[in-house]
Amino acid sequence: MKTYSVGSLDGEKSGVETAVALLEEGHLVVLPTDTGYALAGLAEDEDLLARIYRSKGRSLDKPIHILLSSPGDAKNWVVWEKRADLLADLFLPGPLTLVLPAQKHVPSGLNSRGQTLGVRVPDFPFTLAVLSHLGRPITATSANPSGQGGVFRQADLGRAASLDYVSAIFDAGDLPHTAPSTVVELLPDRPFRLIRKGPISRDELQRAFQEVES
């Protein structure tokens, strides 16, 4: 396993290119995001998704969300809707995961139930640059064994390194200790559902919908 410094928080070209090359070759890597370090691999690679579940000791009942470079890219993976446009305009890039009906081609390894998929655009320049150059979504699960806290500090990257199958860590130093992203489910003809509390509160979400409806 190798560790690469991303340098400044807006990334280095060589670091971005290295991350993209490893991801394209089917490796698992650890990338910094606005909600901690994430275990990243190509989202459409079923074998790699199985490796993530084994590596983390994660239950197959727990879906894996994906990171994309823009909300527009998400429309190739989920059935988009106007409410998603509203929230994306207000909160993305940022700590918001939108759970929407999955497109038919979405790998079953992302969600064993196969009905929905969580999508997010991280507010972290280095990882956004990786996503932009890669042109494909990556997994967004936290880089720690299941049941343990997220990885935010440089000193805690050993927990990420302990995961099986990880080929490289892209070290951006200590990250702000932020709560995991707010997760909102948007299904047709249903009110939004707050699946997980996070940095964006229910009140903020409700105000956003009320403003557009008034």
CATH assignment at residue 110? 3.90.870.10
- Percentage of the chain beyond pLDDT 70 is 95
Can you give the residue range of the structural domain that contains 181? 2-213
Q: Which amino acid is at 86?
A: L
Q: What's the pLDDT at 9?
A: 41
Q: What's the pLDDT at 114?
A: 74
The Cα-based distances of 27 to 95, 125, 146, 169 in angstroms read: 25, 21, 20, 11
Can you tell me the distance from the alpha carbon of 139 to that of 141, in angstroms, rounded to the nearest whole number? 6
pTM score, two decimals? 0.93
- Sign, CA dihedral 42-40-25-127, equals positive
SS3 183: strand
Structure tokens at 76: 């190739």
pLDDT in tens, 115-137: 999 999 999 999 999 999 999 99
Structurally, how many domains does the chain consist of?
1
Lowest-confidence segment of 8-17, 76-85, 86-95 by average pLDDT:
8-17
Higher pLDDT: 121 or 61? It is 121
Dihedrals φ, ψ of 48, to 5°? -65, -40
pLDDT in tens, 139-187: 999 999 998 889 999 999 999 989 999 999 999 999 999 999 999 999 9
Residue 214 pLDDT > 60, yes or no? no
In the chain, which ranges are continuous DSSP H helix?
A: 13-24, 46-56, 71-74, 82-91, 125-134, 157-161, 202-213
214, 69, 60: which is closest to 135 by C-alpha? 69
Average pLDDT of every residue of the chain: 92
Residue 39 pLDDT > 60, yes or no? yes
What confidence tier does 74 reach under pLDDT thresholds 50, 70, 90? very high
